[in-house]
Amino acid sequence: MSTSTPRRLKVAPHFKRLHPRPAVTASLRLQGDWLQAAGFAPGTTALVHVEAGRLVITPAT
């Protein structure tokens, strides 16, 4: 796959209904044909590595 233009995605709130008090966490949704082109076919597993200031997502082997 060739390098493409970076995608700008909005980090949305995700409301967790925890007792005794609700909490809000960050949520990021990834979808599109470009995921499969990058090696992320439906039904496969992905690994997410958290680094300072970035997420690195790779297909699990």
**The domain spanning residue 36 has which CATH number?**
2.10.260
Give the C-alpha distances (Å, rounded to integers) separating 20 from 5, 17, 23.
Answer: 44, 9, 10
> pTM, whole model, 2 decimals?
0.72
With respect to residue 28, please indicate whether it lies within any of the assigned structural domains: yes
d(CA 16, CA 25): 7
Q: What is the mean pLDDT of the chain?
A: 89
Domain count, the chain: 1
Which residue segment(s) compose the domain that 33 sits in?
12-59
With respect to residue 1, please indicate whether it lies within any of the assigned structural domains: no
Residues 26-51 have pLDDT tens digits of 999 999 998 999 999 999 999 999 99
Residues whose CB is less than 8 angstroms from the CB of residue 47 and which lie 6 or more positions away in sequence, other chains included: 57, 58, 59, 60
- The torsion angles phi and psi of 49, rounded to 5 degrees, stand at -105, 125
With respect to residue 34, please indicate whether it lies within any of the assigned structural domains: yes
With respect to residue 6, please indicate whether it lies within any of the assigned structural domains: no
